[in-house]
Structure 1
Amino acid sequence: MSSLESLLASFKDFKVSRGYNYRYYFSAPEPGKLSLLLVHGFPSLAIDWHHQINYFKAKGYGLVVPDQLGYGGTDKPVDHKEYHHGLLAKDLVEIVDHEKLTDVIAIGHDWGSKTTSVLGNLFADRFLGFGFFAAGYVPPRATMTFEQLQTEITQALGYNVYGYWEFLSAPDAVELVTKNVDSFLDLIYAKDPSLWKTHCCPTGALRTWVENNSRTPRGVTEELQRIYDAEFSKGGWTGPLNYYKAQIEPDGELEDAKKIPFANYKIHKPVFLGCTSKDEICLPAFQKPITAQFCPQTTVHDFDTGHWVLNEAADEVNEALDKWIAGISASGSA
């Protein structure tokens, strides 16, 4: 059994009040230590945080690292409305409460940053701070449609970074991704991160890539790739792709965001923002000002990597996070 497979074997289960079972890694904190809630994105798994799990467990920090809804060993409802981030945030708080943790910092990557943002909007009193990797803080989108968002982003950045959402939320996306999954994952985990700008960002480009079964080398370890292959072939793609449907459908993000009071848009707790300089979608030039606008206590660290920073720069991520967390502990917040 490999080290990652051994880690997976130690996961546990908990059924949240919505009736869904979550599978997650848990390690209790040593006396006087904080706990970390680590929230993965698309298309990832809790195991993507393995470098952080090993590092912070060795230092005595508590850890809660779930397979998000739709992934891995966690339940996978087919209705996209079950994937609203307000619901996901409540699920995670219930897991934290179940483990009787008090001094907790929530940290997200990719879509996990959106869920972590909502944790800050709705449950700020339950956390000492919030961290974001690649994608920074995502403010509620209570009035802006997806079409309006694309227009605004294109005007601000010079190109539409969200063009691929249209394919991932399409009725035939699950079928096409399943049929040409190697092609799809090649591009998602491309060793050359610049391919995202040409083959993900333009509307229709990702569909063309997948339909043509295009290939490119991946920048992921063989051990992690074996786990991806096993978990996604077993769990399917309906759950992961529902994150995009939940954002685009009329009953999605607009309705979910309306449940967040305007006064809660700002996060007044300490925030860590890990920017990825070679990321063609989560551009630092966009992530930094948005996060700074809504999170006045933001510490920024720039990583010279693509989107998958947790594995590409694991040592640097761990050291930067550890330093920031130590500052929170020293301030007397814990």
Structure 2
Amino acid sequence: MRFPTEFPTPKLISVNGVTLEVFEAGSENRGNPIILCHGWPEIAYSWRHQIPALAAAGYHVIAPNQRGYGNSSQPTAVTEYDISHLSADLTALLDHYGYDNAIFVGHDWGAFVVWGLALLHPDRVSKIINLSLPYQERGEIPWIEFMEAILGGDYYFVHFNRQPGVADAILEKHTSQFLRNLYRKNEPLKEPDPGMSLINLAKADRADGEPLMSQQELAVFVSAFEHSGFTSNINWYRNLDRNWHILAGADPIIKQPALMIYGDRDIIPKSENLSTFVPNVDVTSLDCGHWIQQEKPTETTKKILDWLKDRSAA
């Protein structure tokens, strides 16, 4: 994988029994860490717009490709992608750098991991900034079982779990086309087509909306997923019910200061009870879709830095 010259050179760091590919900036700001956690199907490069701005603002920026992504390790066992392992990777990364805690920023699945990290290891998280995915209430029944009852077997979370390997193979066969069709902005609202949406997207000759990024930027993502494939990172989805059980013993209330950034056009709904579980939360939104920090990079960075400044002054 080749990264543009302005993006940090990766380091391979061994933590928690795996090797993580980590991108670092602002090491001169040691003592003020902020860790950026990407979603799916993303890599640390999705934070390319925020990394230099955060470093310039005085933060030691650490952006890992999490396990299953890029040149990071890809354990074979599905259970090695549960929230216990994913959160332990991050605490081990803190240990590697000698930090007791840090500010954590997450998007999409990265947000899920940050919420889970705050539940399982609350002393390691000083502040939370999450994009797109609000805190997920645990509920009465496991998440996949709930989704299957409400959304059906073709819903991609359910499909990944009930038909393991089927979607993985199709996405790997059409990696470039899938990512090109997925990374769009200004998509018109429409009813979803029947079938499994991501398989449909991978096979489609064209997609609605406008390209989210340049061909050169897209090539970085394509290269990363041609290298890693999709099974290892889709395994995150295959642990959702396991995570439901793991989190059963955790205090469900997140006490850290938190900022939740929504995309007003995102298909992920806004939480109606976020402050019940995250009482110290501020909520804001941008006029964009799901890929918030890439679609509205300047505005996202400003919201992050303004909130951090306000919280530091409080």
TM-score, structure 1 length as denominator?
A: 0.84
Query: Deviations for 1:181-230, whole angstroms, at most 9, x for unmatched residues?
Result: 2342233213343468515xx653433444x4442253222221110121
- What residue number does 2:11 align with? 12
- What residue number does 1:279 align with? 266
Matches within 5 A, 1:126-145: 126-140=124-138, 143-145=141-143
Alignment RMSD, CA only?
2.7
- What residue number does 1:109 align with? 107
Query: What are the ranges of 5 or more consecutive residues in structure 2 without an aligned counterpart?
Result: none
Matches within 5 A, 1:283-298: 283-284=269-270, 287=271, 289-298=272-281
Query: Contact 1:166–1:203 at 8 Å: present in 2 too?
Result: no
Q: Distance in 1 between matches of 2:274 and 2:50?
A: 23
Query: Contact 1:186–1:218 at 8 Å: present in 2 too?
Result: yes
Q: Distance in 2 between matches of 1:28 and 1:102?
A: 18
Shift of 1:10: 1.6
One-letter amino acid of the counterpart of residue 108, structure 2: D
One-letter amino acid of the counterpart of residue 282, structure 2: T
Query: Deviations for 1:74-124, whole angstroms, at most 9, x for unmatched residues?
Result: 111232211101210111111012111245211100000110001110111
Shift of 1:231: 1.2
- What residue number does 1:179 align with? 173
Q: How many residues align?
A: 310
Q: Distance in 1 between matches of 2:31 and 2:8?
A: 25
Q: Distance in 2 between matches of 1:166 and 1:207?
A: 13
Identity of aligned residues (%): 23
- What residue number does 1:77 align with? 75
Query: Deviations for 1:22-50, whole angstroms, at most 9, x for unmatched residues?
Result: 11112355569632111000000001101
One-letter amino acid of the counterpart of residue 187, structure 1: N
- What residue number does 2:230 align with? 237
Query: Contact 1:110–1:135 at 8 Å: present in 2 too?
Result: yes
TM-score, structure 2 length as denominator?
A: 0.89
Say whether residues 1:66 and 2:57 are aligned partners.
no
Deviates more, 1:48-57 or 1:168-177: 168-177
- What residue number does 2:155 align with? 163
Q: Distance in 1 between matches of 2:239 and 2:61?
A: 28
Q: Distance in 2 between matches of 1:50 and 1:132?
A: 17
One-letter amino acid of the counterpart of residue 78, structure 1: T
Shift of 1:273: 0.3
Shift of 1:323: 1.1
